[in-house]
């Protein structure tokens, strides 16, 4: 139970949710108080309590929703900015595993077990094969993605990422590639349209010359 509570308190998502809920609650309370104060100041004793409660609550809910949306958008922007900072490292890991001799890219499936000599279970992300692996980094977390080179003295870790960061970088890389492919298709469409337009003009000019000579 204590372990679960400790894991929950360490979760970034939990703290983000608490922060967003706190900001939305503060916005709601502040807006309700401000709306009530404005209505009382403008109408004095003629203000209807039911109308005051309805208007203040509605405005408070709108403010809470706006604050919630703003916080979520800001969190996404910050998270994406952090991911973009690590994207070059992911690209380097993928490139090295594909081009450098005896270099591999693996994901740790199970942590090191002293009973089997400190080996851990890993999956090769390029071939899909799994097996026991020994790495000189004993504190690599479960799910980490590791790029290492097999040398004469043993494996040498070049770089590694947590599973969460790797997946975030993978999604961002897919978005970047998708936008680049879309831009390339749009450039090709523009070039094709220019060629078709030039061809139509050429055909029209040829037809005009034929009509003049006939």
Q: How confident is the model at residue 76 (pLDDT cuts 50, 70, 90)?
A: confident
DSSP designation for 138: T
* Domain 100-161: which CATH number of 1.20.120, 3.30.1360, 2.40.128, 2.40.50: 2.40.50
CA distances from 38 to 42, 46, 47, 93, 168 (A): 6, 13, 11, 59, 46
| Mean pLDDT, the chain, integer | 77
List phi, psi (to 5°) of 155: -65, 145
Residue spans per domain, the chain: 2-85, 100-161, 163-214
Q: For 131-174, what is each residue's pLDDT tens digit?
A: 888 887 667 788 889 999 988 888 888 889 988 889 989 988 88
Three-class secondary structure assignment of 49-68 = HHHHHHHHHHHHHHHHHHHH
DSSP designation for 136: S
Q: Which residues of 96-109 are buried (b: 16+ CB within 10 A; e: fewer)?
A: bbeeeeebbbbbbe
Q: For 15-66, what is each residue's pLDDT tens digit?
A: 667 766 777 777 777 777 777 777 777 766 666 677 767 777 777 778 777 8
Q: What average pLDDT score do residues 196-206 get? A: 75
């Amino acid at each position: 139970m204590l372990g679960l509570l400790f894991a929950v308190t360490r979760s970034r998502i939990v703290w983000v949710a608490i922060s967003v809920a706190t900001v939305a609650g503060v916005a709601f309370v502040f807006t309700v108080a401000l709306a009530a104060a404005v209505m009382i100041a403008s109408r004095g004793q003629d203000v209807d309590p039911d109308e005051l409660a309805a208007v203040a609550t509605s405005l408070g809910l709108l403010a809470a929703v706006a604050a919630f949306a703003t916080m979520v958008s800001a969190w996404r922007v910050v998270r994406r900015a952090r991911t973009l900072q690590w994207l070059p490292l992911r690209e380097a890991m993928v490139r090295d595993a594909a081009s450098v001799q005896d270099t591999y890219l693996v994901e740790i499936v199970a942590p090191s077990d002293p009973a089997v000599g400190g080996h851990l279970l890993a999956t090769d992300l390029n071939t899909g094969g799994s097996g026991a692996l020994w790495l000189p980094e004993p504190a690599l977390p479960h799910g980490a993605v590791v790029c290492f080179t097999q040398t004469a003295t043993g494996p040498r870790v070049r770089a590694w990422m947590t599973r969460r960061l790797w997946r975030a970088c993978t999604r961002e890389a897919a978005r970047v590639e998708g936008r680049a492919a879309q831009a390339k298709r749009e450039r090709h469409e523009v070039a094709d349209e220019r060629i078709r337009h030039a061809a139509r003009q050429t055909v029209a000019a040829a037809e005009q010359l034929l009509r003049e000579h006939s």
